[in-house]
Amino acid sequence: MDGGSIPPISTIGRCRALWVASQGGPVWQARAVSYDFDVFLGRAADLVELADCLTSVPGLAISDRTLATWQVVRGAAAKYSFTVEPTVCIDVEDVPDEVSELMFTPQSLIEILIEGSDTGEIPFARRAARALAERFDGVALDKQTDELWPRHSRRVATKPQRAEVVALVEFRWFLLPSTVTATLIEDWLALCRRYVPEALPRRYGQVEPLQGKLADGGEPQLLREWDTADDTLYFVGTTPVTDGSLPVTNVRPWARDMLTTNVNVSVLASAFDDDRWIAGFRALFTEFARRSRCIYAYGEVIRGLEWSGRKAWFSAKSEPTVFPGRRDGWLGLVPYPVFWAWYGASYFPLLAGRLTHGTQEVREDSVFHELAEKPVDRDALLAMMKPARFRRRVDWVPRELRATELANPRRSLPVPADPATVMPKELRS
């Protein structure tokens, strides 16, 4: 063996090693083999609460709490059991998909290491990892076996009762057909896995009953079916996501002259009582809008739908909505306020300095306009924008960019509307 080479060392978990001198020259010596657990924490944790959680496991104690790295010992002899590394912040991009499916976005990460080869300490480290996961709404990962705990998801949303009247939150991203590619669909799937796994197409297809199952063929099969589809690919998600749709490239002849297409997803509005759902959908909404370079995107609340037991149905009592991407042309921005809106490069120059109310976040050549931090219906939004006395009402976007909703005594669908008088040149019929 070449004295300067390092032979491979097979270890379980992390191998910490160092060079030492010997009579025969450099020798690679394994100093310790560690058995590791990662614990993803779902909420903030201070040192006092962390220590309290660890020592709540029978027989465990911390040898010196003043140190940054804790040595956990056990028994009357204070035998070394394992090491707890300091808590570190973690980017959502670094969270394994299987962990994202079980918990809301992790706030931080703790590593637990058994440094040495004493396998008898593994059960104690495992109990500590699970105790931390339980206390802080998180997930523990055994890095040697890939075992996750808990096995059930912490991402739980309540399903409505059959025939219950519900509200939906509808998200739509409008795109030029030329931008619809396999990469766009791959981006959508990746962002769903990262931020809202419930929006992944659990079942999908072009007609009911939807035959495709993500659990059977995975994303490769879904992408193959998307590539051969000649009409919109519909899907159902996991509660609180009810359903959605993805555009395709091989459209039927009647759709080839459409100026826009769209991605949409519908969510039970009751889920947004939990701030963690709001954070996940906000990230999905803005990040997909940015990556897709969409023309226009929005989130709106639709009230008065009836829950069938599997999905929400529109009826004569449901709130009417204006859909701007018609077969006969683009109508413009929706005529009523929406809680979140994204205006892409096409609309950006038409709106510069003309958005009012709420907050604005400019991102390159686009702007995210947030009238409310969480989903709010149009009546509540209008009430929030009520003008001061003796002052004319200031619209949230210029009136000439919005479609005009027409009288609809028969409540026909789509809701009749006149197109905006001003719109981007690429969206003019």
Write down all domains in the chain, each with its CATH number in brackets: 14-149 (3.30.1400), 165-427 (no CATH)
Distance CA 283, CA 195 (A): 7
The burial of 402, by beta-carbon neighbours within 10 Å (0-12 exposed, 13-18 middle, 19 or more buried), is given as buried
- In contact, 83 and 62? CB cutoff 8 Å: no
**Alpha helices by DSSP H, 44-96:** 47-55
CA distances from 144 to 11, 37, 109, 311, 395 (A): 10, 8, 17, 41, 58
- In contact, 327 and 276? CB cutoff 8 Å: no
Query: Token pair 């709540």 is at which residue?
Result: 56
* pLDDT confidence of residue 392: 61
Half-sphere exposure of 117 (CA within 13 A, CB side): 5
Distance CA 69, CA 427 (A): 59
Structure letter (DSSP) for residue 333: B
Q: What is the pTM of this model?
A: 0.88
Half-sphere exposure of 12 (CA within 13 A, CB side): 17
Q: Which phi and psi angles does 263 have, rounded to 5°?
A: -105, 135
Amino acid code (one letter) for 43 = R
**355 in helix, strand or coil?**
coil
* pLDDT confidence of residue 391: 58
* pLDDT confidence of residue 81: 97
- In contact, 36 and 144? CB cutoff 8 Å: yes
* pLDDT confidence of residue 413: 80
* pLDDT confidence of residue 36: 97
Half-sphere exposure of 366 (CA within 13 A, CB side): 19
By C-alpha distance, which of 88, 91, 72 is closest to 129? 72
Q: Does residue 304 come out as left (phi exceeding 0), alpha (psi in the -120 to 50 range) or beta?
A: left
By C-alpha distance, which of 315, 332, 323 is closest to 402? 332
Tens digit of each residue's pLDDT, the chain (429 residues): 333 332 332 233 333 333 223 334 333 333 347 899 999 999 999 999 999 999 999 999 999 999 999 999 999 999 999 999 999 999 999 999 999 999 999 999 999 999 987 899 999 999 999 999 999 999 999 999 999 999 999 999 999 999 999 999 999 999 999 999 999 999 999 999 999 999 999 999 999 999 999 999 999 999 999 999 999 999 999 999 999 999 999 887 777 788 999 999 999 999 999 999 999 999 999 999 999 999 999 999 999 999 999 899 998 889 999 999 998 899 999 999 999 999 999 999 999 999 999 999 999 999 999 999 999 999 999 999 887 665 566 689 999 999 999 999 888 888 999 999 999 999 997
3-state secondary structure 380-402: HHHHHCCCCCCCCCCCCCCHHHE
Distance of CA 168 to the CA centre of its chain: 18
- Give the bridge partners for 89, in sequence order: 108
Distance CA 308, CA 242 (A): 11
Half-sphere exposure of 275 (CA within 13 A, CB side): 3
